[in-house]
Structure 1
């Protein structure tokens, strides 16, 4: 091995010895309690048919986009789609990105300048952390959902200040006090950015729009790879923000744009979302059923969440993996979330509930889990 490979192997061995080594797994026939396909759109025959029809209605569309949007890869279809989605979420404008990671990275790395400040909830998604790191701004984190901690950091802020939170947190599934956070942010003249990746679906418009806050929240991220069953993301905000990102967001400028098929998939997913009342009701009922079936007083707690994401904390990697393996052997696709993805001592199994999960499967899953959470 080369010196570089010896170094890489050492790092991998360290990760294996700590129980944090990751491997890829192919798709399985297990019952899905793992994916972000909350409304079943990714597997929807109806959505697939709508997409096929939309592609057929545009027979001259290309297989690929051929380049970045600033060169050969822009389509009027993409610009019209941005307007449709922005109007749906009650924002003036939006800019499409190839993923939620790209969108957060592009926004935060280009937005704040040297002398400005970015304040992040301590449990914010890695994409926001990485975007903030790439900026030249001062960076602070505040205690999760803690208004007093946020205010203490706001008092330290200099220049233009941006506060970044999620409306539903991807690893805990909980919801912050958005209105309180917005009020304290505005009190100090700061700007709120909300990642809505895991909210849209359970909340068709996202929580920002549902609460009537879109005219006060500086920017919102909506992703299409979760409840909408596709891929990509949009950053919503003012028209001036859209123009700024088009000129300064490197993850937008220097990447090949989405293909027509991807754009058509997004448009048709929004069309289906407009008539997804039954799926949303089923999802809400399944969340309620799961929470009712899990023992609340136990050695290993169920985190407080009313979302599709339900987590039981086992406090170490080995225990979380052990329980996940047991559940997989019983036919349920449940995954362990281990450090360093989550903080040491908060390792867990993460159960994602969907509209298509049956009551029988939820009851069986809960029965098995209950056998171990008091062990």
Structure 2
């Protein structure tokens, strides 16, 4: 059995796509999801430190799942706060966005239902669909006509799964139009706002006031919020159903209260610092003005430079690294073969000089 596993690893190594864990690098960050710089913000860190000093019990382990010994007033208060901020009836906390998606799509749809997913939806949704007994169908990325053609053929209950901002191409979903289609065909729309939350205020659902049209939403806090964990936004019935039937919730030890406190504190900090999002948008505009062809929206912090020549892509990333720029090269099977790319993440803390210097090197390879 070990030989089989080693053969698969050797095959990836020969193709130059073997994944390995590396120490965190020092350099100019153009690869992390820390869009607003909150993960290392000293002012926010001081606020968190003061709260821990006032209440050291926040650092205690939860001691069990939330259904046994792990539920606390802090967790409940944080959920109520999140629900109120997003104008949803209820919120349910998870240790990660991955677990939140596992819970939603492995629990709500049953064998008589259909889950229609954007072909570029996050891997966690695909994994959850495998845990579900429902039928899964894909529609072409952001293609409203293809989505409607599929919806038109369905006879039973349907769920539609999209991201509001996609992590690989960095483009935005036509969320208003998809919400309209879900309403037209009586489908339940579920939106993952992992990369949009914080970048566009509280996300595109809040931006376009779609709370009544989106059946459930996932907010992830390990990106623009600089924290960890996630919340599912939904109504009270769905929350109770997940608490009763979602294995990823029921059988997971609850996080310590420090995590829940950090999420609520970071929300408050985000409201006090609108200039962070403004700086990010200015940096996105600076990048767009460099005239590098990328597929995403001009409003997106994620920019993808397509480069299907793997050797050229490796060479570009090494040149950038040698110049102290940290970027991320994405190879198949993470993306489809022929769509390999250099993934660039822009942040509020990047400087105009660094953005121009980065793009100057990239232009030498395309």
Band the TM-score falls in, shorter-chain normalisation: over 0.9
Q: For 1:318-337, what per-residue CA distance to the aligned partner results, in whole angstroms no more than 9, with x for missing partners?
A: 33222111111111001101
Partner of 1:221, secondary structure, is strand
Task: Tell whether 2:356 aligns with 1:363.
Answer: yes
Q: Which runs of 5+ in 1 are unaligned?
A: 296-300
Contact 2:312 2:365 in 1 (8 A): no
Match of 2:326 among 328, 333, 353: 333
Cα distance in 2 for partners of 1:112, 1:23 equals: 35
Match of 2:229 among 229, 232, 236: 232
Partner of 1:49, secondary structure, is helix
Q: For 1:27-49, what per-residue CA distance to the aligned partner results, in whole angstroms no more than 9, with x for missing partners?
A: 11111000000000000011111
Cα distance in 2 for partners of 1:343, 1:227 equals: 27
Contact 1:31 1:331 in 2 (8 A): yes
Task: Tell whether 2:309 aligns with 1:303.
Answer: no
Q: Which residue of 1 aligns with 2:146?
A: 149
Hey, which bits of structure 1, 4+ residues long, moved more than 4 A?
A: none
Partner of 1:220, secondary structure, is strand
- Cα deviation, residue 62, structure 1: 4.7
Q: For 1:44-91, what per-residue CA distance to the aligned partner results, in whole angstroms no more than 9, with x for missing partners?
A: 011111111222332444521111100111011111101111111111
Cα distance in 1 for partners of 2:114, 2:143 equals: 18
Match of 2:93 among 92, 96, 100: 96
Q: How do 1:220-299 and structure 2 match up within 5 A?
A: 220-295=217-292
**Backbone CA RMSD of aligned residues:** 1.1
Contact 1:122 1:142 in 2 (8 A): yes
Q: TM-score scaled to structure 1, two decimals?
A: 0.95
Match of 2:44 among 43, 47, 51: 47
Cα distance in 2 for partners of 1:316, 1:165 equals: 29
**Count of aligned residue pairs for this structure pair:** 365
Q: How do 1:206-217 and structure 2 match up within 5 A?
A: 206-217=203-214
Q: Which residue of 2 aligns with 1:137?
A: 134
Q: For 1:191-240, what per-residue CA distance to the aligned partner results, in whole angstroms no more than 9, with x for missing partners?
A: 10000000011112110011000111000100010000010000001111
Q: Which residue of 2 aligns with 1:115?
A: 112
Task: Tell whether 2:348 aligns with 1:351.
Answer: no
Q: TM-score scaled to structure 2, two decimals?
A: 0.97
